[in-house]
Homo-oligomer: A and B are copies of this chain.
Amino acid sequence: MPSRNANPIEQPTVENIDLSSILVALSEPVRLGIVAALASHDGDVACGTFDLPVAKSTSSHHFKVLRESGVMHQYDEGTRRLNRLRRADLDARFPGLLDLIIAEGRQVVVPIIGP
């Protein structure tokens, strides 16, 4: 549940994104797959739309790590939580990194169900 008032969605500002956190976040196969899938998809994608090989709670954990490391931005829309890659921010901070991830991360197939 996108808890509105309860737990605010926290994410680092652009200048506060640090590489170590990014590396830790992306060194996990599931998370790398999420990023690659999200990158090769137009528009924002809800958490549940990813076909991940883990339980819901685990999935939620991974999204949290990705958000807090600054890889993606999350916002609530009704009952769903949408994800958006922080392309501009990442490119500004670490030029070329995202492209490498995307290019290589496609090997990890993470289907996205529906639109």
Interface residues of A (CB under 8 A from B): 18-20, 23-24, 26-27, 29, 32, 94-97, 100-101, 104-105
* Chain B positions within 8 Å of A18 at CB level: 104
* Chain B positions within 8 Å of A24 at CB level: 27
Contact, CB under 8 Å: B32 / A27: no
The listed residue (B20, B26, B104) touching A32 by CB distance below 8 A is B20
Identical chains in the assembly: 2
Contact, CB under 8 Å: B95 / A19: no
Give chain B nearest CB distance to A108 CB in angstroms: 8
Q: 25 interchain pairs (CB within 8 A)?
A: A18-B104, A19-B100, A19-B101, A19-B104, A19-B105, A20-B27, A20-B29, A20-B32, A20-B104, A23-B23, A23-B26, A23-B27, A23-B32, A24-B27, A26-B27, A27-B27, A94-B100, A94-B104, A95-B96, A95-B100, A96-B96, A96-B97, A96-B100, A97-B97, A97-B100
Given contacts A20-B29, A23-B32, 6 further A-B contacts (CB under 8 A): A20-B32, A23-B26, A23-B27, A95-B96, A96-B100, A97-B100
